[in-house]
C-alpha cells in the first residue's frame, strides 16, 4: 500500500473514531447560550447536533428579597415577557435529547442568599417559573427545563447547598414528573470559593469546572501538570455524577486558558479521559473537530499517535465496574481478601435483615462473625483496607429472608438515624462494624411492604450535607417497576441500581437476549439513577435461573447494553460463588 493510501486510511479511521468518541454517551459537550445576540437562536444551536447540554445564561438577579430577573443579552426582552417564545425552542432541543438548564448567577450580577429560608424561596421561584411547577408569569413560557446550573462567581458562599437540596426534592414531582438536574460551574482552584461547600453535598449531577482565567490550574504553554493535578483533585474529592473540563472555545472567549485543538486531543484528553464544555457557542466549530484540512496536515506519526490515543479512549470510555455481595457464606474469605483481589469496585456487606417497626436492628453475616457479642467490630480494619484501595463498601439492608419493613415516615427517619450513627458518619457506643465509616447503604428490599423506602432514602441522602457523601444503592428485581422499591427509585436519589436479572424469567437471559435487552432499556430510560448495573449470579448454583455463560455475556449481552449513558457495570451474587467459577476475573476486561 502506498504511503499516501496508508495515511488516508489511517486518517479515515482516526476521523471515524473521533466521531464515535465525541458522540458516545460517555463523552458529551455542554454549551452556554444566551449572552450574545449574534450566536443564533436556541433552536439553531440545538439543531447543529454538536451539544448534549445547553445552559441558558443567565438569571443574574435573585435572592435576598430581590425580584428575579433574566438577562439574555439581546435575544429577547424579559421585562415585557418577550422571552416566552423560547418555549418552543426549548422543547425542540429536548425533543433531540438535549438537556436544557437555566444558569443562575454569572460573572456579573446581583445575587446572594441570606438564609436557609431565602434559599427555599428562591428554589420555589425556580420550580414554579422554570421547572415543573406553575406560575402565571413564566419568563420562558410553559416549557419545563431539565434543571438549574449554579454559575456562582460572587455574592457569598452561604446557603447554596440549601438551594441545591430544596431543588432536588422537587425531582419526580409536578405534572412533568421529571428529575431536576443540578449542575455547577466552579473555578478550578480547589475548593471553589463560592460553591465549595455546596458541591460536597453529592447532589450535583454535572460539574463543569472552569479551567480558564485561572493560571494556577489551567493549561499553559504546553505544560499539562497544573491542569492535570487540579483535575485529579476535583475528580477524587467531589461526589458529583460527572466532572467536565470547562474551556473557552476560542482564544478571545477568555483572558487565558484556551487550549489549541491539537494539544487538547494529543495531550489532555489522552491523560484525563474527560468530557468537554465550551464557553461560547458561536465559535465552537473551531475546536475539537478533525476537519479535512487539519487531517491533510497531519504527519503519519501524528495520525498513528492520535489513532492510538482515541483507541485508548474508546477502550475505556464505556468501562464499567463490578459490584459484589459479601457476607453470606463463611467460606468466601475475609472482606480484606475480597478487596485485595482487585476484581471489585463495590462491596455490599450482606445483610442487616432485621430493622424497622420498633425492632432492634441486627446484622447477620452468616458465620463470619457474631454480632451478638460485638464480634464483628474487627471488620473495621478490613473496611478501611478496602476503602484505601478505592473500593466503596456499603451495608446492604433487607435481603431475601429477614424481618423488616417501615410503618411510617417517622419510622423511616428513626431507621436512617440508626444507620447514620452505627454504620455511617455518626457516633454510637455500639457500632456493629467498629469505627469504620461505610460509604453508603444498599436497599435489597424483597419483602415487607413497599411503603416509606423513599422516605428512608431522603433521610439518608440528607446526611450527605454533614461531610462525606452517603451513597445510595438498590437491588430491585428486573420486572418493571420493582414491587418493593419502585416508588423509592423515582426520587432520583439513588447513585447505583444493580437490577437483578435472574430468578425472573420474563426479563432475564435465556439464550435469547430480547427479554433482557427490552427490560434493560426500560430501566435505563425510566429510572433517574446515576448508574444502572446488570445484576447476575456468579455461578449456575447461585440462583434458580438467569446465569449467563461468560462467552454469551461478553459477545452478546454486554455489547447490547453498554451503549447506554447509565451503564455502570455488572453486579454479582455473590463472593462465595464467584470464588467457585472465577466469573469476575473472566469478564473484568469486557465490563
Q: Give the number of other CB atoms < 10 A from CB of residue 306.
A: 24
- Residue 196, all three cell numbers: 465549595
Dist. CA 472–CA 469, nearest whole Å: 9
Residue 8 contacts by C-beta under 8 Å, 6 or more apart in sequence?
Answer: none
Q: How many residues does the chain have?
A: 591
**Exposed (0-12), middle (13-18) or buried (19+): which is 114, by Cβ within 10 Å?**
middle
Which one of 25, 228, 446, 517 is the catalytic residue? 446
- Cβ atoms of 416 and 406 within 8 Å: the answer is no
Q: Is 446 a catalytic residue?
A: yes
- Residue 390, all three cell numbers: 478505592
Ramachandran angles phi, psi of 536, nearest 5°? -140, 155
**In this structure, are strands 403-404 and 531-537 parallel, antiparallel, or unpaired?**
unpaired
**Closest Cα to residue 565, out of 9, 67, 27?**
27
CA contacts within 13 A on the Cβ side of 46: 23
Angle (nearest 5°) at CA 376 between 372 and 381: 165
Give, in order, the Cα–Cα distances in Å from 125 to each of 88, 128, 223, 309: 21, 5, 45, 46
Dist. CA 383–CA 504, nearest whole Å: 32
Q: Rounded to a whole number, what is the distance in angstroms from the first to the last CA of the chain?
A: 36
Give, in order, the Cα–Cα distances in Å from 331 to each of 337, 339, 352, 575: 12, 15, 19, 9
- Active-site residues: which are they? 446
Amino acid at each position: 500500500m502506498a504511503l499516501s493510501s496508508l495515511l488516508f486510511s489511517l486518517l479515515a479511521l482516526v476521523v471515524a473514531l473521533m466521531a464515535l468518541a465525541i458522540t458516545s454517551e460517555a463523552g458529551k459537550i455542554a454549551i452556554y447560550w444566551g449572552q450574545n445576540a449574534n450566536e443564533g437562536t436556541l433552536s439553531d444551536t440545538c439543531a447543529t447536533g454538536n451539544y448534549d447540554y445547553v445552559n441558558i445564561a443567565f438569571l443574574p438577579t435573585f435572592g435576598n428579597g430581590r425580584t428575579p430577573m433574566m438577562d439574555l443579552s439581546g435575544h429577547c426582552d424579559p421585562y415585557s415577557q418577550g422571552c416566552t417564545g423560547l418555549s418552543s425552542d426549548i422543547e425542540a432541543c429536548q425533543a433531540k435529547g438535549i438537556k436544557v438548564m437555566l444558569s443562575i448567577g454569572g460573572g456579573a450580577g446581583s445575587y446572594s442568599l441570606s438564609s436557609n429560608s431565602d434559599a427555599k424561596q428562591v428554589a420555589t421561584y425556580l420550580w414554579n417559573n422554570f421547572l415543573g411547577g406553575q406560575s402565571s408569569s413564566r419568563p420562558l413560557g410553559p416549557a419545563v427545563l431539565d434543571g438549574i446550573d449554579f454559575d456562582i462567581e460572587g455574592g457569598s458562599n452561604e446557603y447554596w447547598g440549601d438551594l441545591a437540596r430544596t431543588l432536588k426534592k422537587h425531582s419526580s414531582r409536578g405534572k412533568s414528573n421529571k428529575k431536576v438536574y443540578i449542575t455547577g460551574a466552579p473555578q478550578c482552584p480547589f475548593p471553589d470559593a463560592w460553591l465549595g461547600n455546596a458541591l460536597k453535598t453529592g447532589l450535583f449531577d454535572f460539574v463543569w469546572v472552569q479551567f480558564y482565567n485561572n493560571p494556577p490550574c489551567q493549561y499553559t504553554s504546553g505544560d499539562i501538570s497544573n491542569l492535570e493535578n487540579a483535575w485529579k483533585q476535583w475528580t477524587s474529592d467531589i461526589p458529583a455524577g460527572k466532572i467536565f473540563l470547562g474551556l473557552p472555545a476560542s482564544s478571545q472567549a477568555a483572558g487565558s486558558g484556551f487550549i489549541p485543538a491539537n494539544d487538547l486531543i494529543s495531550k489532555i484528553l489522552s491523560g484525563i479521559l474527560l468530557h468537554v464544555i465550551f464557553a461560547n457557542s458561536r465559535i465552537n466549530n473551531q475546536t475539537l473537530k478533525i476537519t479535512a484540512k487539519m487531517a491533510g496536515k497531519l504527519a503519519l506519526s501524528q495520525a498513528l499517535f492520535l489513532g492510538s490515543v482515541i483507541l485508548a479512549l474508546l477502550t475505556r470510555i464505556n468501562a464499567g465496574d463490578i459490584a459484589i455481595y459479601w457476607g453470606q457464606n463463611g467460606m468466601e474469605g475475609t472482606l480484606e481478601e475480597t478487596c485485595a483481589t482487585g476484581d471489585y469496585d463495590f462491596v455490599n456487606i450482606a445483610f442487616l435483615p432485621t430493622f424497622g417497626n420498633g425492632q432492634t436492628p441486627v446484622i447477620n453475616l452468616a458465620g463470619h462473625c457474631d454480632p451478638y457479642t460485638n464480634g464483628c467490630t474487627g471488620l473495621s480494619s478490613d473496611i478501611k483496607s478496602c476503602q484505601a484501595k478505592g473500593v466503596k463498601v456499603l451495608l446492604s439492608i433487607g435481603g431475601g429472608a429477614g424481618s423488616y419493613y417501615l410503618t411510617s415516615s417517622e419510622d423511616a427517619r428513626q431507621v436512617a438515624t440508626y444507620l447514620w450513627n452505627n454504620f455511617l458518619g455518626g457516633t454510637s457506643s455500639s457500632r456493629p462494624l467498629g469505627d469504620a465509616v461505610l460509604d453508603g447503604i444498599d436497599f435489597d428490599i424483597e419483602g415487607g411492604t413497599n411503603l416509606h423506602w423513599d422516605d428512608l432514602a431522603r433521610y439518608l441522602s440528607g446526611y450527605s450535607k454533614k461531610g462525606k457523601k452517603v451513597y445510595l444503592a438498590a437491588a430491585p428485581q428486573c420486572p418493571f417497576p420493582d414491587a418493593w422499591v419502585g416508588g423509592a427509585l423515582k426520587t432520583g436519589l439513588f447513585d447505583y441500581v444493580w437490577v437483578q436479572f435472574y430468578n425472573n424469567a420474563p426479563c432475564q437471559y435465556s439464550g435469547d437476549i430480547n427479554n433482557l435487552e427490552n427490560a434493560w432499556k426500560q430501566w435505563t430510560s425510566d429510572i433517574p439513577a446515576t448508574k444502572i448495573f446488570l445484576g447476575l449470579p456468579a455461578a449456575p448454583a447461585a440462583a434458580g435461573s438467569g446465569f449467563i455463560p461468560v462467552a454469551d455475556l461478553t459477545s452478546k449481552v454486554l455489547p447490547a447494553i453498554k451503549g447506554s449513558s447509565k451503564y455502570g457495570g455488572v453486579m454479582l451474587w455473590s463472593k462465595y460463588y464467584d470464588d467457585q467459577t472465577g466469573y469476575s476475573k473472566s469478564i473484568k476486561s469486557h465490563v
